[in-house]
Amino acid sequence: MSKTSEERSLLVLENYIGGKFVSCRSYIDSYDPSTGEVYCKVPDSGKEEVDAAVAAAKEAFPEWSACSPEQRAKILHKLADLIEANLEEFAQAESKDQGKTITAARTVDIPRAAYNFRFFSTSMLHHTTDCSPMDHMGCLNYTVRCPVGVAGLISPWNLPLYLLTWKIAPAIAAGNTVVAKPSEMTSVTAWMLCKLMQQAGVPPGVVNVVFGSGPRAGDALVSHPEVPLISFTGSTATAQRITERSAPYCKKLSLELGGKNPAIIFADADLDQCIETTVRSSFLNQGEVCLCTSRIYVERSIYSAFLERFVAAAKKWKTGVPSDPSSKNGALISKEHLEKVRSYIALAKSEGGIIHCGEGLDKLDLPQRNKSGYFMPTTVITGISDSSRVMQEEIFGPVTCISPFDTEDEAVARGNGVRYGLSATVWSKDVGKVHRVAQQLQAGLVWTNCWLVRDLNLPFGGMKNSGVGREGGKDSYHFFTEVKSITIKH
C-alpha cells in the first residue's frame, strides 16, 4: 500500500541503542499542540527494545566507568558545545513539539540543557570523600564512591530536553551508562540529541534512548532486574506505580513529582516586583512547570489592591501562536490535558468561585490554522475553599487561585494544607518574618522575594507527595554513585 503524501511528510523517530538508530515495529502519533495535527511518529517500544538498550548499556559500562572523570568531562563539554551550536534548530523543534513559545525554548529550555552538561562535567571533578583515622586501633577508614551501573531515566513532557539532560548529565559524568525514556508526547529533541552523541565522542551504549509510553516502555525499564537505579520526573500517580514495579529489586529511586505551590504575600511586600514575578510564577510555560504558583495567599489589608493589579497583569500575559515572539504562553500539551484543565475551571464555577479573567471570559485571537490548537488564556480564580479539589490537586495549567489571610500562622497552616510540598514563595521586606515563614513551610524549595532562581549546586526535590530524594550538585553525585567504606589496619 503506498503512503499518502501526508504520511511521507511526517517526522519518524527511531530508538537509539548501542550507538545506532533502530526502527520500531509500531509507532505512536505525536501532535503539534498549536494546530492539533499529527506531525510525528514516535516508536511504541516495549520489553524487546528496552532489553536491547539495557544490554548495550551493560556492555558499555566497564569501559566507561573506568574512564577518568576528566575524560568524561571533556565529552560532556563537547555535548554542551554541540547543543549551543544547534540552539536555534533545537529551540524550533522544542516549541513545535511541546507547544511552548519559541522565546521560552530559545532563552530557557535549550540554554539550560547545554548548561546541564557543562555544570555536571565540572562539578563531578570537585567532590571529595571521607577519611577517618582510628589511631588507637591502628586503623584508617576511608570512603570511595563508584558508579552504580545502568541508570533508568524517565523524563516528562513539560521541559523535555531541559529535564532529560538534567538526568543524563550527572548519570554519565559519574560513570554510569543510561537507558532514557522521554515522554512519548515530546520526543523530538531527545532524538536530535542522540544525533550529536557520536560527534561528541560518547562511546556506543553509554547513552541509549528508547521512545514509547509509560505502560509499555516505562514499565519494562523500571521493572528490569539489571537497572539498579531509576530517576523519574512526572506525576505522583506514576511514581506510585514505579515504586511498586521496582520494589522487588531494591532499586535506588529519585522521584521528582507534582506540586501545588503557595505564594504567601504579606502587606509589606514590594507589590510592583511581587505582581510581576507572581504572574510569571503562575503562568510561565502555560503553567506547565512543577514549580509554578497555583495558590496565592494575600494579607487581607492589601488583598483587593493586589487582586485588581494581578488580574490586570494576567490579562496582559499574551497567549498565542508559539512562533510569535510577542506570545508569553503557547499551547497546552494535548487535547486531553486541555480538557482536564478546563474541567477544574468548571468545578470552580460550580462551587461558587469567581473567574476574573481567562477561560470562558477572554477570547483568544488565533490564526485559522491554530483554531484547533490546545490554547487556554491565563485564568485567575477567587472565592474557592481550601478544601476544594481546585485548591488541593495539581492542575498544571495557566490557572491560579487567590485568597486572603489574616495572620502569619494562618498563612503558614494554609500554605502547608495540601499533600504536596515542592516549592513555595514568600513576599515580605521583614527579614525575620521571611526566615521564620520559610523555616515552617513544608517545601523542598522556598524562594523569598523572587522565584525560580536556581543554583544547580543546591538540592532540588520535594517533601510529602512531591517526591523522594534530591538532585543537584552533590546530591546528584551521591544518587548516581554507591558509597563504600574501607578500613585498613596497619
How many whole angstroms separate alpha carbon 285 and alpha carbon 475? 27
Q: Which member of 49, 94, 184, 256 is catalytic?
A: 256
On the 0-12 / 13-18 / 19+ scale of CB atoms within 10 A, 239 is buried
Q: Are 115 and 80 in contact (CB under 8 A)?
A: yes
Q: Measuring CA to CA, which residue among 467, 427, 411 is closest to residue 443?
A: 467
* Amino acid at position 264, single letter: I
Is 339 designated active site?
no
Partnered with residue 296 across adjacent β-strands are 263, 402
How far does Cα 244 stand from its chain's mean position? Answer: 22
> In 30-46, which positions are buried (b, 16+ CB within 10 angstroms) versus exposed (e)?
bbbbbbbeebbbbbbbb
Cell numbers representing residue 404 in the block: 486572603
CA dihedral in degrees (289, 102, 364, 380; nearest 10)?
A: 20
DSSP states of 165-217:
HHHHHHHHHTT-EEEEE--TTS-HHHHHHHHHHHHHTPPTTSEEE----IIII
Active site residues: 256
